[in-house]
A and B are shown apart, each in its own frame.
Chain A
Amino acid sequence: MSAASAMADGKSTQDPSRASVFARRLFANRSFAIGAALVGMVVVLALLAPAIAPYDPLKGNFRARMEAPGLAHWMGTDHFGRDILSRVLYGARVSLQIGFLVTLITAATGVCIGAMAGYFRRLDGPIMRLMDAFMAFPSIILAIAISSVLGASVVNVIIALSIASTPHTARVVRASVLVVREMEYVEAARALGAGHARILVRHVLANSMAPLVVRMTYVFAVAILNEAVLSFIGVGPPPPTPTFGAIIANGRDFIVAAPWITIAPGLAILVSVLGLNLLGDGLRDLLDPRMKVATR
C-alpha cells in the first residue's frame, strides 16, 4: 500500500493539483486500491529479496533436502535443499522483470504497428492480415515455438512473449486510433497543415492511450502466467535462475511426494496476477468507463 502511494506521489511532482486529484480518485476505487496493494507488496518483496531472503536461493543444503515447511524453512526446501521461500522471493524479481519488460516492449511494438494500421489506410489491410495470422493459433504455442528457435534464456523468453502478445495489442490500438482519427480535432490539425507524424503522436495516440494502459496490465499478468507455462514445457529460463515457473517446473516431478515445492510459487503467481487484474479493473473503471470487456 505504502509503496503504491509512494509511486503515485512520485508522479505528482509535476502537476500537484491534477495528479493528486487523479491519485485520490484511483485509490478511492477499491479494485485499484487492493490491486495496487497486492502488486506493491510483490514488488517490494522482490526488491527487498537480497535483504529479507533467509537463504541463498541458488545454494543447496545437502543435509536439508525435501524438507517440509517448518521453522527453519517456512516454505520447505526442494530436492537440492534450497530454501523455497528464498527462491520464490528471488523468483519474483525475475518473473516481474520478465513481465515488466514484455509489457514495455509489447506497448512499443503494439503502438507502432497498431497506429500505422489504424492511421494509414493503405497499410491497414496487409498489417492486420498478418496480425490475424499470428492470432489464429494460440499465442502460447507461438511463444513455445519462438522460444525453441531462439533457445531458452531470460532475454529470449521476453522476446518470445512480446511477439506473442503484440498482435492483440496492435489490434486494440488500431481500434481506438480508427475512432480518434475521424475526430474533429484531428481534422482541424490536418487542416492546419500538421504532418502525419505530429498528428499521430500529438493527437491520435495521446487520445487513444486509455485502452492501451488498461490492456498493458493484462499483458503484464499474462506474461507472468506464460513465463511459467514456458518453464513448464521446458523452454523457459535455464537453471539456476529462479523464476516462478522454473520453481514449479523443478518441483513438478515431486508434486505428490513434496507438494510444497510447487504450491508456493503457484500461489505467488496467483497473488501477482490477481493484483494486476484488479489494478487493470480499477484503471478501466476510471480511464475508460465505456470499455466493459476485459480482454485477456
Chain B
Amino acid sequence: MGRFVVRRLLASIPVLFLVSLITFGLLWLVPGDPASVFLDASASAADLDRVRHELGLDRPFLLRMGEWYLRLFQGDLGTSLLLDRSVTSAILERLPVTLSLTALAFLFSVAIGVAAGTLAAVRHGTAADQGLMAMALLGLSIPEFWLGLVLIWLVAVLLPIFPVGDYVPFAKSPLQWARHIALPTFTLACVQMGFIARMTRSSMLEVLSQDFVRTARAKGLPEPYIVIRHGLVNAMVPIVTVMGIMVGALLGGAVVTEQVFSIPGMGRLVIGAVLARDFPVIQGGLLFLALIYLTVNFVVDLLYAVIDPRVRLG
C-alpha cells in the first residue's frame, strides 16, 4: 500500500511537467498579449510598447519560461498580469467556489442518481423504470450552458427567488450560500445525475440477478434489505471507479456554468485568463486543475482498493 502511494505520487510528476509543457506550447503559439487589454482601440503603437515593457512582455519567451520553472521550484507561481495579486492567491480565492460547486453537484447527482437508478432496477421493465431512464437520458443530453441560460430566463421572468451572479461563502451564511449556488448546482448536476442513474441501474440489475441475491431471497430476507445490503453495496463498485471521470467532467462543466451564472470560480479564472492572455494565471490555473484531477483519481484508486478486495495494488 505504502509503495503504491509513493509510486503514484512519483508518476504524477512527469504528468504535471507535461501539462506545463503543453501549456507553454499553447502560450507560445497564441497570438495577442495582455498589453492591449489595458488599452482602448485608439492606442498608439508607442502606448502598446510601453505597456508591454511595463508588463515584462518584451522579454524573450524562453527566458520567461525558464524563470517560471525556476520560481516554481521555490513554490511560486508568479503574479497575475491583470488581477493585482499572486497567481497562488488568485487560485486559492477561487478554489472554494469551484470546489463547493462541484462537490455539491457531485453529492446531489450521486444521491438522486443512485436513488433513481436503484428504483429503476427494482422496478425493472415497468413504466417507472422507463420513465426514469428516459429522464436520465434527457439529463445526459442537455447542453449545460444552455440549461443555465434557460434557468436564468425562468428566474428573471417567473420566479425571482434565486439570486443570479453572485457567490456568498458558506462560512458567511449557509442559507445565502445555498440560495446562491442552487441554480448552478442543478445545472451542473443534471448531466451527471443521468449518468449515475444509468450506471446504478445496470450494475444493480447485474447484482440482483446473481446467485447470492437469489439465495438471500430464498432465505426470505426482506426485499429492501436485500436491495440495500447486497444490491447497492456491490453496485457501488463500478460507480466508485467512474468517480474520477465524473470529477473531470464536473470540473469541465463548472468552467461553463461559472461563466453563465457569473460566479467567480476557477473556470472563470482560467477562461478569463485565456481570453485576456494573462499568461501566469493560465499556466498556474491549468496546473492546479490538473493537480485536482490527479488527486481525485488517486483517491478513487485507493477507495476502489478498499471497496473491492479483489483489486490488488502495486
Contacts and interface: CB of A to CB of B under 8 A. Distances in A.
Q: Do chains A and B touch in the complex (CB under 8 A)?
A: yes
A121 interface: no
A262 B202 CA distance: 35
A266 B143 contact: yes
A291 to B, nearest CB: 10
A229 B140 contact: no
A141 interface: yes
B18 A149 contact: no
Interface stretch (B44-52, B170-178, B179-187, B287-295): B287-295
Contacts of B199: 292-294
B255 A141 contact: yes
A238 to B, nearest CB: 15
A144 interface: yes
Interface in A115-143: 129-130, 132-141
B149 A255 contact: yes
Given A263-B150, A293-B238, A140 B274 contact: no
A163 B195 CA distance: 24
Classify the secondary structure of A's interface with B.
Answer: helix
A110 B64 CA distance: 34
A173 to B, nearest CB: 17
A81 interface: no
A139 B252 CA distance: 7
A277 B191 CA distance: 12
B19 A133 contact: yes
Interface string A34-59: 00000000000000000000000000
A161 interface: no
A42 B153 CA distance: 27
A148 interface: yes
Interface stretch (A14-22, A179-187, A204-212, A267-275): A267-275
Contact of B141 (A229, A234, A255, A277): A277
B248 A138 contact: yes
Among B21, B143, B145, which residue has the most Cβ atoms of chain A within 10 A?
B143
B143 A296 contact: no
Contacts of A132: 15, 18
Interface in B97-128: none
B9 interface: no
Contact of A229 (B23, B145, B245, B249): B145
A148 B252 contact: no
B15 A140 contact: no
B137 A274 contact: yes
Contact of A149 (B15, B21, B30, B242): B30
Contact of B198 (A133, A149, A274, A294): A294
A120 B243 CA distance: 30
Contacts of B137: 274, 277-278
A138 B145 contact: no
A234 B276 CA distance: 12
A144 B251 contact: no
Contact of B203 (A136, A229, A232, A292): A292
A252 interface: yes
Contacts of A146: 26
B116 to A, nearest CB: 15
Interface in A136-162: 136-141, 144-146, 148-149, 151
B275 to A, nearest CB: 7
A262 B156 CA distance: 15
Contacts of B140: 277, 296
Contacts of B290: 133, 136-137
Interface in A251-284: 252, 255-256, 259, 262-263, 266, 269-270, 273-274, 277-278
B29 interface: yes
A225 interface: yes
A228 interface: yes
25 contacts: A129-B18, A130-B18, A136-B16, A138-B248, A141-B255, A141-B271, A148-B274, A149-B29, A149-B30, A228-B143, A232-B259, A233-B259, A233-B271, A248-B146, A255-B149, A255-B153, A262-B150, A266-B146, A270-B138, A274-B137, A277-B141, A278-B137, A293-B241, A294-B198, A296-B140
User: Closest 4 interchain pairs by CB?
Assistant: A138-B252, A133-B18, A136-B290, A266-B146
